[in-house]
Chain A
Amino acid sequence: MTDQSPGSAKREGKLRLPLPARLLLRLSSVPRETRAEVEADLQELFVPRRSHRGRVHAHWRLYHDVASLWLQPHSPVPALTGDSTLSRSKFALLRDARLDLRYAVRLFARQPAILLLTIVGLSLGLGIATASFSIMNAALRGEGIVDPDRAPGVLRTTDRSQATAWAYEEFLRLREGATRMQVEAVMTDAAAARTGSAETAVPSVGVAFVSGGFFAATGGRTTLGRPLEPGDEQYVNEGGSAPVVVSFVFWTSRLNRDPAVVGRTIWIGRTAATIVGVAERGFSAPHNRLLWMPLTAYGAVYDAAPVKRTPDVGVEVFGRLLPDVALSEAEAQLSGVAAALPPDATAGNATLRARLDPDAGLGRVSSSDALAITLFVFALIGLVLLLACANVATVLIATAITREREMGVRAALGASRWRIVRQLVTESLALGAIAATIGLLCAYWAIPLIGTMVEAPSGADLTPDFKVYVFLAIVTLVTGVAAGLAPAWHGRGADLVTPLKGEGARYNRVAPRRFRSMLVMTQAASSVLLIVTATLFMRATFRAATIDVGFDAGGLYAVTPGLGRDAFANGGSGIRTFWARAISELQTVPGISTVTLAELTPFSDLTKSSVTSDGPSRVVYFNRTGAEYFETLGLRTLTGRTYTRAEVAAKAPVALVSESLARAYWPDQSPVGQMLPQQIPVAENRPLVIGVVADAITARLHERNAFAVYEPLDPASEVFAELLIRVAPGTDGVIDQARQRLRSIDPQADVKVASVAARLQQEAGRPRMLATLTGIVGIIGIVLCVIGLYGLTASVVAQRAREMAVRAAMGAEPLALLRLLMWDSLRPVVLGLTLGAGAALLAGRVVVAAMFFGVSPRDPMAFIGAAIILLAAAILAVVAPTRRAATVDAALVLRQS
């Protein structure tokens, strides 16, 4: 044999074919036995081409060759003829699938409208499922706290109250004294963050001021650099700029994922800070923070010089239990430390205890809430997918009816049942794959949009992660297979002969029709369920936005003084002086109608509550207020009177109760002149009820808990109080003026004025999110339903053309025919409507009533609205094809068959 290969001299033995070419070769129809030979041939061609004509040419020719192998229809490799062992390649199935795919493409090319309808339907379904899953995934991902059950919040508990806030000094003592757990503190706030000096529009971002062991205690890790460490608290004493850890989201969105970001300086509030690390993706505790700084940097961020080295506001304390320490054990030990704390102004003479609550602190959503939302959203996603699936199945069945003949021919020619089913499934999977791609694009586009609509916090990381892709893949697969199996099931037991006889021998089997009706029914039912839920949520949103909190939040502002620690000295005389001056100053500002002090202002994160000891225990909120609190909030006095300034100054043992509380404990009589009932625990003297005021919701909006006890704010408690300002409506610039006045009292005070309306709006965000989500899904549901119904009706009506022609020939009026066809098509819709309404009623009961913000799950408006919308849509979908069929020219149709 003569070696004819011209390039043999220059052949480099070690050079292998490029990997993609090898992979493509494996997937081609070249049988395994000859693959090695073909590969060697390809390489022998590739190497000299590469050295003579260059890489580009060699690669071009190589892939051209590989493509030529792919395109050869019947494994052309010569070895097949020589060898008698004609084994099927491992990829025979793939080859068949390719064939199936080719049929599918051919079919779709013939019926582009069907293809379009199905893809639109499926991509909408998959897109919305992906987007909602993605957002829920982000919402429920948690904030990256490792083993959160072992990191309980530490509640400051006295006999009559418990609160999450501790004074910074108290925290230091707790940290020193704790032996069973690592005690850490965190305080959240917002500050303007500039990443470069040129930046102009500076958004305010969430900052967490944390104690040194915060990252160790929460389990937060960093992608770059290091987390904050206990030593970082000392930076204030050592000089230099504040260390800061930035979140992954901040790093991505504001710092362009700069890999050399560690060591870079950014400006936060009034201070420069050096980035020491980038937190791992997914870590955002607490409350979607973007930045973490040491607690000791608080003063530097907010204060003008001189900078205070310790924060002067309450900090939230939490802990990490040491290994093998039980919660109760740690709690007992920590309570011992708390009891030994020096009594301060707020605690009075009550003993302090520490209570550990794994559900409190660190921005945790209570687990039952999270679970309810998860279940709800998954039910929603399931419903949408069911809808999309039923829809695609309906459309495929519609085509299958017209393809019965094709299937009959194929079966008659010897195609196995399995082969035909596989053909159908391949078709729907191909559709699914296309739809998934479009759906993913939709989701990418929709996620930020939905994110804005639901007012996702800026720190939330909404980008789909790995889990979302897996979810989409699984869902596509399941939907594809299910939708493909439906027509197969529909066509089960089909005889081969009848379809071959052609149109003239149309037959009407009962079972497939019933199956078809069931699909339509399913769609109608899920649509109704969705629309009803959406309507309920929509109404809940309006309700939450306009929820009667009992007072007008607009024009109400809360002021925190931001005074230094020295203001706390001597029992807080500095603060008291400040408040006294502030009140008298502010009262002279035109446009401010009332000013009052209150220990707790509405919808601040702090609450003080106690739990009643009777039957169904209730949470009662406590507040200490100035005399003008009720006037400022606008709470009516229903019976009795409010306390006077004199009573406030004297710390008289009197109290006001809210209307609900009064009704619960004194159902038939006036509470005025009674002692506060024993079931409500109080620490000091049991106060005398002197009046009843209107209900007001000031803490958790969705709880709508208006059980409240108001007591006079004694001077000692003013230290931790906030100021409430009521601005008269229709006045401008009042708040700026107020801010200036307050600054003029104490130029170093870092006065913050927060709008109560804004706090309320934030609080009302949750139902809006669900409403938006369900609303979008509901609309898509209707669209899907209409698409499916239209496709099915068109094909069924076409199928019944002959029957209609016969009826017409027998003298049936076109109107009667129309009625018959319409009713036949709409019957399953009406049935589905009833079913869906029933399901919605049940679901309404199951979905926690709390989420509906006082909207009854049986809201008739929602049900009637849903029924009208769906029926109108269904009639629209049905009317066009049926009209066409009813006005059929009988002679023409009958001649055709």
Chain B
Amino acid sequence: MKSERLGEFEEFTLLAVRALGDNTYAVPIQQYVEKVTARAVSIGSIYAALARLEEKGFLSSTMSEAVAQRGGKSKRVYTVTPGGLRTARDLHRVRERIWNVIAEGGRS
């Protein structure tokens, strides 16, 4: 597994997959990211982010069964890998640390 860094948008996407409870796919992810970031997100960028995340090993994907409501078309569902989770947590932790420093500095 490559150890790669996460971009901001990739991070959102990764967290969205986790937040939606794994085994989710592009459409709900797009809707979620759009909702939480409060800005228009194109499906193309979601695809791109998912592809990069999978390439970096943060996500894994499988094809789902054909779903009747999608006109019989199957979809690719994503799950966050342990590596992805760890990286996201690391990132979060780094941020927390920095914010703590800022908070302390502000108090003093």
Which residue numbers of A lie inside 8 Å of B, CB to CB?
A: 1-2, 4-6, 8, 11, 13, 36-45, 61, 64-65, 67-72, 76-82
- B44:A72 contact, CB within 8 angstroms: yes
Contacts of A81 in B (CB 8 A): 51, 54-55
Please tell me if B39 contacts chain A, counting CB pairs below 8 Å: no
- A82:B70 contact, CB within 8 angstroms: no
CA distance A37 to B55 in the complex (A): 20
Those 5 A-B pairs whose CB atoms lie nearest each other, nearest first: A68-B44, A68-B42, A4-B28, A76-B48, A40-B73
Please tell me if B100 contacts chain A, counting CB pairs below 8 Å: no
- B43:A78 contact, CB within 8 angstroms: no
Contacts of B54 in A (CB 8 A): 78, 81-82
Of B43, B45, B50, B51, which contacts A45 at CB under 8 A?
Answer: B43
- A1:B64 contact, CB within 8 angstroms: yes
Known contacts A78-B54, A79-B76; 10 additional CB pairs below 8 A are A2-B24, A4-B20, A4-B31, A13-B71, A38-B47, A41-B26, A43-B71, A45-B27, A78-B51, A78-B61
- A37:B74 contact, CB within 8 angstroms: yes
Of A4, A36, A42, A67, which contacts B24 at CB under 8 A?
Answer: A4
- A61:B21 contact, CB within 8 angstroms: no
Of A4, A67, A80, which contacts B32 at CB under 8 A?
Answer: A4
- A64:B40 contact, CB within 8 angstroms: yes
Contacts of A72 in B (CB 8 A): 44, 47-48
CA distance A44 to B70 in the complex (A): 8
**Which residue of A4, A11, A61, A77 has the most chain B CB atoms within 10 A of its CB atom?**
A4
- A41:B42 contact, CB within 8 angstroms: no
- A1:B69 contact, CB within 8 angstroms: no
Nearest B residue to A6 by beta-carbon distance? B31
Of A2, A37, A61, A70, which contacts B40 at CB under 8 A?
Answer: A61
Interface string of B14-28 (1 = CB under 8 A from A): 000000110111111
CA distance A891 to B95 in the complex (A): 63
CA distance A2 to B17 in the complex (A): 12
Interface of A, secondary structure class, is helix
Nearest A residue to B78 by beta-carbon distance? A78
Interface string of B37-70 (1 = CB under 8 A from A): 0001011110110110011000001011000011
Nearest A residue to B47 by beta-carbon distance? A76
CA distance A1 to B23 in the complex (A): 6
- A68:B61 contact, CB within 8 angstroms: no
Q: How far is the CB of B76 from chain A (nearest CB, A)?
A: 6
Write 27 A-B pairs (CB below 8 A) sorted by A numbering.
A1-B23, A1-B24, A2-B21, A4-B20, A4-B24, A4-B32, A5-B28, A6-B31, A11-B69, A13-B69, A13-B71, A40-B70, A40-B75, A41-B75, A42-B43, A43-B70, A45-B31, A65-B42, A69-B43, A69-B44, A71-B44, A72-B44, A76-B47, A78-B47, A78-B50, A81-B55, A82-B54
Which residue numbers of B lie inside 8 Å of A, CB to CB?
A: 20-21, 23-28, 30-32, 40, 42-45, 47-48, 50-51, 54-55, 61, 63-64, 69-71, 73-78
Contacts of B75 in A (CB 8 A): 37, 40-41
CA distance A79 to B28 in the complex (A): 18
Contacts of B32 in A (CB 8 A): 4
Of A5, A67, A70, A78, which contacts B27 at CB under 8 A?
Answer: A5
Of A2, A36, A69, which contacts B47 at CB under 8 A?
Answer: A69
- Evaluate whether A64 and B71 lie within 8 angstroms (CB atoms) in the complex, with A37-B76, A78-B54 already known: no
CA distance A43 to B75 in the complex (A): 13
Q: How far is the CB of B61 from chain A (nearest CB, A)?
A: 6
Contacts of A77 in B (CB 8 A): 47, 51
Nearest A residue to B42 by beta-carbon distance? A68
Q: How far is the CB of A89 from chain B (nearest CB, A)?
A: 15
Contacts of A78 in B (CB 8 A): 47, 50-51, 54, 61, 76, 78
- A76:B44 contact, CB within 8 angstroms: yes
**Which residue of B32, B44, B54 has the most chain A CB atoms within 10 A of its CB atom?**
B44
**Which residue of B20, B31, B54, B61 has the most chain A CB atoms within 10 A of its CB atom?**
B31
Nearest A residue to B70 by beta-carbon distance? A40
Contacts of B76 in A (CB 8 A): 37, 78-79, 82
Q: How far is the CB of A856 from chain B (nearest CB, A)?
A: 71
Q: How far is the CB of A57 from chain B (nearest CB, A)?
A: 10
- Evaluate whether A64 and B42 lie within 8 angstroms (CB atoms) in the complex, with A37-B73, A76-B51, A78-B61 already known: yes
CA distance A38 to B43 in the complex (A): 9
Contacts of A82 in B (CB 8 A): 54, 61, 63, 76
Contacts of A65 in B (CB 8 A): 42-44
**Which residue of A11, A44, A65 has the most chain B CB atoms within 10 A of its CB atom?**
A44
Contacts of B20 in A (CB 8 A): 2, 4
Q: How far is the CB of B79 from chain A (nearest CB, A)?
A: 10
Of B40, B42, B73, which contacts A36 at CB under 8 A?
Answer: B73
Q: How far is the CB of A349 from chain B (nearest CB, A)?
A: 92
Contacts of A13 in B (CB 8 A): 69, 71
Contacts of B48 in A (CB 8 A): 72, 76
Contacts of A39 in B (CB 8 A): 73
- A40:B71 contact, CB within 8 angstroms: yes
Q: How far is the CB of B44 from chain A (nearest CB, A)?
A: 3
Q: How far is the CB of A760 from chain B (nearest CB, A)?
A: 71
Q: How far is the CB of A493 from chain B (nearest CB, A)?
A: 43
CA distance A61 to B40 in the complex (A): 9
Contacts of B40 in A (CB 8 A): 61, 64
Nearest B residue to A45 by beta-carbon distance? B27
CA distance A42 to B77 in the complex (A): 16
CA distance A4 to B43 in the complex (A): 16
CA distance A79 to B48 in the complex (A): 11
Nearest B residue to A64 by beta-carbon distance? B42
Of A11, A37, A43, A68, which contacts B45 at CB under 8 A?
Answer: A68
Q: How far is the CB of B108 from chain A (nearest CB, A)?
A: 45
CA distance A78 to B53 in the complex (A): 9
Contacts of B64 in A (CB 8 A): 1
CA distance A72 to B51 in the complex (A): 12
Contacts of A6 in B (CB 8 A): 31
CA distance A68 to B70 in the complex (A): 22
Q: How far is the CB of B20 from chain A (nearest CB, A)?
A: 5
CA distance A8 to B28 in the complex (A): 11
Contacts of B51 in A (CB 8 A): 76-78, 80-81
CA distance A67 to B47 in the complex (A): 13
Q: How far is the CB of A43 from chain B (nearest CB, A)?
A: 7
**Which residue of A11, A38, A40, A64 has the most chain B CB atoms within 10 A of its CB atom?**
A40
CA distance A80 to B51 in the complex (A): 8
Contacts of A71 in B (CB 8 A): 44
Nearest B residue to A70 by beta-carbon distance? B44
Nearest B residue to A80 by beta-carbon distance? B51
Q: How far is the CB of B91 from chain A (nearest CB, A)?
A: 22
Nearest B residue to A83 by beta-carbon distance? B63
CA distance A154 to B50 in the complex (A): 83
CA distance A80 to B52 in the complex (A): 11
Nearest A residue to B64 by beta-carbon distance? A1
Of A1, A8, A45, which contacts B30 at CB under 8 A?
Answer: A45
CA distance A79 to B74 in the complex (A): 12
Q: How far is the CB of B70 from chain A (nearest CB, A)?
A: 4
Q: How far is the CB of B39 from chain A (nearest CB, A)?
A: 12
Q: How far is the CB of B25 from chain A (nearest CB, A)?
A: 8
- A8:B44 contact, CB within 8 angstroms: no
CA distance A1 to B20 in the complex (A): 10
Contacts of A76 in B (CB 8 A): 44, 47-48, 51
Nearest B residue to A34 by beta-carbon distance? B76
- A5:B31 contact, CB within 8 angstroms: yes
CA distance A69 to B46 in the complex (A): 10
CA distance A77 to B25 in the complex (A): 12
CA distance A773 to B57 in the complex (A): 70
- A1:B77 contact, CB within 8 angstroms: yes
CA distance A788 to B104 in the complex (A): 74
Contacts of A64 in B (CB 8 A): 40, 42
Q: How far is the CB of A30 from chain B (nearest CB, A)?
A: 9
Nearest B residue to A44 by beta-carbon distance? B27
